[in-house]
Structures are given as structure tokens and as C-alpha cells.
A and B are shown apart, each in its own frame.
Chain A
Amino acid sequence: MTLKRSVSFIAAAAFSLNAMAWQPSGKVECIAPSDPGGGWDFTCRSAGNVMRDLGLIEGTVQTINMAGAGGGVAYAHTVSKRAEDDKLIVAASTATTTRLAQKQFPGLDADMVTWVGALGADYGVIAVGKDSQYENLNQLLDAIKQNPKSVKFAGGSARGGWDHLKVLITAKAAGADKLPAIPYLSYNNGGEAMTQVVGGQVDAFTGDISEVTGFLSSGDLRVLAVLADERLPGEFSDIPTAKEQGVDAVGPNWRGFYMPKGASSDSKAFWVEAVDTLYASEQWKKVMKANGLIPFHPPADEFDSFVEQQVQDIETLSREIGLLK
């Protein structure tokens, strides 16, 4: 027993020693699959800065913006042209897995890259205007169960996108049927959707917690539930989770990285370790706090299966509502 443990300890030590032995030299790139200014751009730039400050890499991480097809152009680029690049990471989020699940990157699958790790998440919320008749999540869901058309939702993603899926995940967890009949109005972004809910034109808002902070503090919006396992820290601790209201629905919009599948195992070990170290650092905690990110970091060996599971869940749900055939 002791022997076995010490052997595995030595093996682990050797492995990590080996992993630390490899260090990227020269130019390191982080692809942000969007125009400058978006969430992926933020992931690359802020993670790159903190990695440099921590001395994890020599030099700087250069952020490359590669917009197109909601991340599809960057995904195809990574799979086809950079398949063995050791010094490349690509920013990803739930939007990436959603599109993969819905086959919106033609001919590309989630297992064509290596998923490195997550650096935090933005959790989904269901909210209504301050004058709404719905005081809690169950009142709203009961209304949907009686008549799926009775509550109209507005969100910042396309139909079938993550904001829409959060409504469906919640309604499904509450046992509602006729999911496709629930009206969903898609807007260009969360702000536009919220304006309609605050203005009283649409009944409910689906989005992420970071989007609602402004209207939450002004009192124009009432958040019925946050789709997280536990209550969120800080100023959000008053908001009940869906789970504590008896609805088992969770919707984390995580932010993290993937890298080319064909990269050397040394480099993969390095990047997983680097993301772990980055996530644990004080500097990153500050970045998370300043940008409304909530802790979310599945252990390195579980992240891959987490992504796989999320892709599968979204695929099943998309089939149920007829988005996928």
C-alpha cells in the first residue's frame, strides 16, 4: 500500500517535473474568435496578462482576433491549420459548445480539440420587470405549465442560442411540456432585450448575471432565480437559486480555453497546469471580481468530460425543440 502510494507519488512528481520541463519559447498566441471588445477577447487579453505577470510564460501572449461564424472560423483554423501547434490556445465559452452541439460548425466536433480548462463563469438568470405579477420562479413556471404561450421571454442570443436554451432547461426541469411553444424573442444583445422587459413590452428576461447588474441596482428588474448550484457571492447573495426553489436547473456560461488536439502531451500538461495556477492566483481573483465572473473551475481531468456532457445535453435539448433533425 505504502509502496504503491510512493510509486504513484514518484510517477506524479516525475510527470509534473516533466511537464514543467517544457516551456513555450518565442511567440505564444491566444486566438479570440471575435472582434476586439467581446467576451472571448477579454478572456485572451486578461488571462495573457496575468500569465505573464505570474511568470508562467516568458514574453507575452499575443491575442489574435479571428471573428466569424460565432467562433467557427477559429475552430476550423485550429483543427485544420494549427493541429500540432504547441504554443496556441483559443478562447471558448458555452457559446462554443452550443454551436458545436447544434452542428453549426459543419463537419467539426467537440472531440477534435483538447479542452484545457475553465477560468470562471457567468451564471444564467431569469428576471422580470419590477411591476410583474410574478414574485418567484414557481409562479412563472406554473403559468408556463398551464399555457406555454402565457410568458414571453426576451434574450440576447439567437433562437436556439444559449439565452434561449436557459429558458428551456429551466422549464424542462420544472416538468413543463410543449417546450417549442414557449415564445422567445431574440435581440442583438442582453441590453436591448432588457429594455423591452423594463419597458413592459415583454414578460421575462433570460440572460447572464453580469448583464443585469445595472437594472438590478436601479430596482427596475426583479431576478427570480439564478441558475447556479449555490447562491452567488457578494451583492448577489440575496438572489435565490432555481435549485432552492425546487427546480433543478443550472446554466453556467463558462469561459476557458481549448488547444489543438495534435499538440505534444508535454505542452498540453503545461497549459493545463498554467490555467490551474492562473485560476488559483490572487491576480486572477481580482480580474474575476472586477468583471463579474463567478468561481467555476472543474478539476483538469474532469473538464473534458464536462464539455462532452454539456454538448450532449444541448444536443438532446435542441433535438427536442426541433432545432436539430
Chain B
Amino acid sequence: MNPDDLVVTGIGVVSPRGCDPAALDLDGTAPADDSWFDATAELGARGYKYVPPAGRYLLAATRRAVADAGDPLAGVPEGERGMALGTNSGIAALIDAMDATITDAGAERLSPATAPYFSINTLAGRVAMDHGVKGWNLTLTSPRTAGMETLLAGARAVAAGRSAVLLAGSTEAPLPVHHPGHALSEAGAAVLFLEPRAAAAARGATPYGTCRTATFFLTTAERTVHEALARLVEDAGAPDGTTLPARLICDPCPAGTALAGHLRRLGVPADIVPPGAGTLLPFLHLTRGLARPGPPHLVAAASSDGACALTLVQPLPTPRPRASEQEPR
């Protein structure tokens, strides 16, 4: 095991599917309104009035992840903190409401203090202000896969020396009510805190495990897919003859069908899970996978436009804390 490898030492989730990462109910649909979220309990009574729902979810999930990791940021200079966020519909309803205002009463009736949030990167930007994330901050928006991609982009940035630690997550808020995809809306946020294995060990933190992501584009790329998959499956170190469990989040689209076929040919039969509108469901699956001790497994996602991502989740084989030298968390 490489001491530079990133391990997950904190998990934060706020979601209508639950807030305990190990006990998330990821079957079926979840309520697409805001009633499940207690902003005051999560964030306090004030300071976030102008922040749109996806931003509040992200702030709450980040607080939870940092607390769960044992408040490690005090030991990390601000310039060494990096953050990558995946989101698709985080501000879709806000944009729609702003557009309704502009085309009707005019832009002068927009709330000036809310106006910055027309730019989707302000969701993570607001979190950076609260947690002193000055190393770097990325917002990725690739359809469906962007949450998983934060783990790849974040690990790459840390490996390039751009920060020492990583906050990686996904946040979504419901699509506008009149959008044809509204019923598939997602709401909530999940954030992971990651640090090098050696750093976690040095401060006595018990990792949940690791996750590694690869991306590719289907259906154009037979060889790339095969290479990426083979590398991850090999890294999982599953003994010969055992099956690596996999969960694939996709529509019955050509890319999803092709990805399922590739997995099958590599001896990885995938459970196919219907997707939500955005990036959150795949991220919740890998979050729950990390929080539950067990064997390595794959979480895969394909978007109907062809982008695919695959994350190898390697949780602890047995429940934490596992070693007597670990300090209580």
C-alpha cells in the first residue's frame, strides 16, 4: 500500500434517503421537495439566507464530513486544502426562476445578493469561504458522472502537489417543476474528506477505505474501456474465481448497455440501477459502499450522451476501528 494513496477519513451526507452513510436507502425515488432538510439544525439560524438549497446541502454535508474526519483542517494550511464538486442540477431551479423574473418583471427585480449563484461554481465557492479552501476549487458538471469524476480529478491534483488534502462531493437540487425530468430530480449532498494514508496514520485517524475512478466515453472506445476496466479489476485484487460485485447506474441507453456488456465480458456482472437526474445517486452508492465494511466492489455510471465513470470502492474488510493502536475517534 502506497503511503501517498488517498484514503477516505470523513463522510458527510444530507439526503432525503438518510444522513447515516451506512444506512442510506438508495432504492426507489426520494422526495423532491425541501421538507427533509433542517437548515437551522445543520447550519445554524443565520448566515445562509441567500444560499440556494444545493449550496446549503453542500455546506451541511461538508461540515459533517470534516467533523466525521475528526476536524483535521486545523492541521492543514489553507493553501493545502483542495475541493472538487460534481453537480448537474444544483442551480437549475434557481436559473429557471431568475429567467422567469427577467423575462417578466425584468432583471432589476432579481435579488442582488442571490445573483452570484447564477454561476454554478459559487456553490463550492461558498464552502471554500467557510472552510478556508485556498489550494484550489473545481466544479465539474459532466452529466451524471461528475460526482465520481471529483475523485479522479481530486486525486490527480493532490498527486500533482496542488494540495495535501481533498474534499470531494456531489450536490443536487430538484429540477424546475415544469421540467419533463422533474420526477427524476435528486436532492441532497454527499462529501468525502480524503488525505494521504500516511497523514491519516500520523494523526491516528481510521480510514473508511479508498476509492479510485476511471472515465471513458462510449460507444466509441473499445480499447480504452477495456484497459481502464481491466486495470481497476486487477487492482481490486479479487482472488481468481471470485466475482467483483458491481452496481451500474444508467438508463437503458446505448452507452449503459455497452458498459454492462464490457463488464460482463470481464467477469463482472453488474446490478443495473435506474438513475436520477444528476450526479448524486452514483456518489451516494459509493459513499454507502465505503461506510459498510466488506469486499471491494465497483460503482459504475453511464450517461445517455456516452460519458462513463467507474469507481473501485475498497472499504475496510471489517468494521472500524480495527486496530488497537487507533485512538478513539
A complexed with B: no
